[in-house]
Amino acid sequence: MNPIKLALTYLRIGVLNEMQYRINFFIQLLQSFISVATGLIGLSLVFGQVTTLAGWSRSELLAVMGVHLLMGGVIRSLIQPNMERLMDDVRNGTLDFALTKPADAQTLVSVREFRFWQLVDVIVGIVIISLAFYELKGTLGFLQLLGFLAALIMGGVMLYCVWLMVTSISFWVIRVQEISNLFEGLYAAGRWPVGIYPDWLRTGLTFLVPVAFAVTVPAEALTNRLSGTSLLFALGMTVLFVFLARGLWLLGLSNYSGASS
Amino acid sequence: MTATISVSNLSKHYKVPEREGGMKAAVASLFNRKYRTVKAVDDVSFSIEPGEVVGFLGPNGAGKTTTLKVLSGLLHPTSGSVTVLGFEPYKRPHAYLRQVALVMGNRNQLSWDLPAIDSFELQRAIYGIPVSEFKKTRDDFIDLLELKDLVNKPIRNLSLGERMKMEIVGALLHRPKVLFLDEPTIGLDVTMQRRIRTFIKEYNQRWGVTVLLTSHYMADVEALCKRVIVIHHGRTLFDGELSSLVTQFSSFKTLGVTLPNPEVDLSQYGEVLTRDGARVTLRVSKARTSQVTANLLSDLQVDDLTVEDTPIDDVIDSVFTSNEETK
């Protein structure tokens, strides 16, 4: 079975079903509005005091906020729901069903859930980024756009890998529900460029939970701060994370024996 | 003909952490964990021919589910060898998984929020079933199980029995050649149990599918399985025809006697099992059955007399208890 076709089938059915619950759209819109509003208030508070923050201007930080919102939408619509279902499956023993299917189990558990309305955050994120761009009166060159998209995709892949690694721990300790909360807290730190944080936190946000790669690096690409070397480094990190995640997943799987024996 | 399922000297041992209750033991176990080996399956061998429906019996914790999980590739055997359709299940090759299905009565695979029809579509995508074949199979099953009005409702709105029927349809859409059913009728009412039984029987006969079934309902086993394998404490106690299980393990018959005078004491004829008004049931050893029947009829005025084999449930129960005693 072609994994892309499989993912698209799940996507299609997920969308069709979520369409029935239109109220979720409005709830999501409200949530996005609140996070944009609090973000803007935060920005205006900071820029009431200073004119730049660690070398970032107000409009540039608006772009960071947009990327943060966009990536947050991707996490909440695609990554988090699948990983939470995986945790449930491990705890309830229903992962057995996924493992007895003639498909790669990692692919299968990563595409089963899709929260369509969470994509509102992605749209709002793009709007904010455009707004920031307009304020910066910048022009978006083709290479710059390419760098941004590449950084975004690599960041997304890295976040997925971290989620998968953390979720794989559920093969040993069964209860990891609280980890979603922890993750959300750390991801919230990505609202600001990681450069403003002390070294130890910056290192953590770069290598442990790659918020730096998921938000700051794409934003750097947008604001002409990104060097080719950084992008190459991001690529190396992505490959490393993919291998680590796959390894830990396979190890966890071999340890899995179902909730009841 | 080569066997569809062949299991030889299969053992599956688990290492489980062990600790006593209480805070002190809980803290101690953080540092120095003690393990105990549980022999869930211990040296079990059997083979099943194509098209057979075999009942897998045993009390809770006997090792039935573990064996099914090894067969469906979820668990690695600790020792021994297992082949199904010529594959080694634990390697989980896709070519193997495409030909088998596992149904667990106490766990759902269909998504709670989706209507069954959508979940079926997902199964089609996973198994790569050609669309025309898929539609035909799906509609056949929906007709057979009378699910037409229910397939568009989210699973969470269905009753337990309806949900189980959907689960079975979902599991069979790719027309597996081997079917592992773990308690498929658990918690269902009698009508629904019968319905599912009939369906399994028909599926087996129509496609020549091999079925290995565990159930606590003897009615399931009696209706579907000629052959049973009884396991207890991970070991095989019996493997053969259901009828010979009865002759081998039951040396008693049950006599039902209805008397006009319920006061009469019948304990001299056999062990009195129940006494319900004028109706008394007696347990009598097989060898003495005809003699006791004759005596009853000549000694007393009898309105009605029946002679029955011990119900299969009681036979199974006596198999387990006799094994317990000899241990």
What are A43-76's pLDDT values in tens digits? 888 888 888 888 888 888 999 999 999 999 999 9
Look at residue A243 and tell me whether its pLDDT is greater than 90.
Answer: yes
User: Which positions in chain A touch B114 (Cβ < 8 Å)?
Assistant: 13, 17
Q: How far is A255 from chain B (nearest CA, A)?
A: 10
Residues 208 through 227 of chain B touching chain A, CB cutoff 8 Å: none
- What's the pLDDT at A111? 93
- What's the pLDDT at A25? 82
Report the DSSP beta bridge partners of residue B104. B182
B156 inside 8 A of chain A by CB: no
The answer to whether A258 contacts B74, with C-beta atoms less than 8 Å apart, is: yes
The answer to whether B125 contacts A260, with C-beta atoms less than 8 Å apart, is: no
- What's the pLDDT at B176? 95
User: Which positions in chain A touch B101 (Cβ < 8 Å)?
Assistant: 100
Give the gyration radius of chain B's Cα atoms. Answer: 24
State how many domains chain A has: 1
User: Which positions in chain A touch B98 (Cβ < 8 Å)?
Assistant: 102
Measured between its terminal Cα atoms, the distance across chain B in Å is 38
Which residues span the domain enclosing A7? 3-255
The answer to whether A261 contacts B95, with C-beta atoms less than 8 Å apart, is: no
**B12, two tokens:** 């599956």
A216 phi/psi in degrees, rounded to 5: -65, -45
Q: Which positions ≥6 away from A121 have C-beta within 8 Å? A: A28, A31, A32, A35, A69, A70, A72, A73, A76, A77
Look at residue A259 and tell me whether its pLDDT is greater than 50.
Answer: no
A19 inside 8 A of chain B by CB: no
Is A89 part of any domain?
Answer: yes
Q: Is A39 helix (H, G, I), strand (E, B) or coil?
A: helix
Nearest-Cα residue of chain A relative to residue B125:
A6
Q: Mutate which of A89, A97, A99, A114 to test chain B, going by most B C-beta atoms within 10 A? A: A97
Mean pLDDT, chain A, whole residue set: 87
The answer to whether B109 contacts A103, with C-beta atoms less than 8 Å apart, is: no
The pLDDT confidence band at residue A170, using thresholds 50, 70 and 90, is confident
Domains of chain B, earliest start first: 5-11+43-247 (3.40.50.300), 252-309 (3.30.70)
Sign of the dihedral defined by the CA atoms of residues B69, B70, B76, B77, in that order: positive
- What's the pLDDT at A175? 67
Nearest by CB to residue A96, choosing from B76, B102, B122, is B102
Nearest by CB to residue B118, choosing from A13, A94, A257, is A13
CA dihedral A153, A154, A159, A161 (to 10 degrees): 120
Q: Is B163 helix (H, G, I), strand (E, B) or coil?
A: helix
Is A260 part of any domain?
Answer: no
CA–CA gap between residue B208 and residue A261 (Å, rounded): 30
Is A261 part of any domain?
Answer: no
- What's the pLDDT at B325? 55
Q: Which positions ≥6 away from A197 have C-beta within 8 Å? A: A189, A205
Is A134 part of any domain?
Answer: yes
- Give the ipTM: 0.82
CA–CA gap between residue B113 and residue B53 (Å, rounded): 34
Closest CA to B214 of B177, B185, B252: B185
The pLDDT confidence band at residue A173, using thresholds 50, 70 and 90, is confident
CA–CA gap between residue B128 and residue B124 (Å, rounded): 6
- What's the pLDDT at B71? 94
Closest CA to A87 of A16, A19, A158, A180: A180
Residues 54 through 113 of chain B touching chain A, CB cutoff 8 Å: 65-66, 69, 72-76, 92, 94-95, 97-98, 100-102, 104, 107-109, 111, 113
Q: In chain B, which stretches have pLDDT less than 70?
A: 1, 19-20, 29, 322-327
- A212-227: average pLDDT: 87
- A4-25: average pLDDT: 86
The pLDDT confidence band at residue A257, using thresholds 50, 70 and 90, is low
Closest CA to B246 of B197, B319, B322: B319
Contact call for residues B115 and B151 (beta carbons, < 8 A)? yes
Tokens 């003897």 sit on residue: B218
B234 inside 8 A of chain A by CB: no
- What's the pLDDT at B5? 93
- The proportion of chain A whose per-residue pLDDT surpasses 70, expressed as a percent, equals 97
State the CB neighbour count (10 A cutoff) for residue B290: 12
- Residue A217: in which H helix or E strand, if any? helix A217-222
Report the DSSP beta bridge partners of residue B15. B37
Alpha carbon of residue A39 to chain centroid: 18
Is A43 part of any domain?
Answer: yes
Closest CA to B80 of B92, B66, B94: B66
The answer to whether A100 contacts B95, with C-beta atoms less than 8 Å apart, is: no
User: Which positions in chain B touch A261 (Cβ < 8 Å)?
Assistant: 14, 38, 40, 65-66, 69
Q: Which positions ≥6 away from A236 have C-beta within 8 Å? A: none
- What's the pLDDT at B28? 74
State the CB neighbour count (10 A cutoff) for residue A181: 9
- Side-chain half-sphere exposure of A42, counting CA atoms within 13 A: 15
- What's the pLDDT at A239? 97
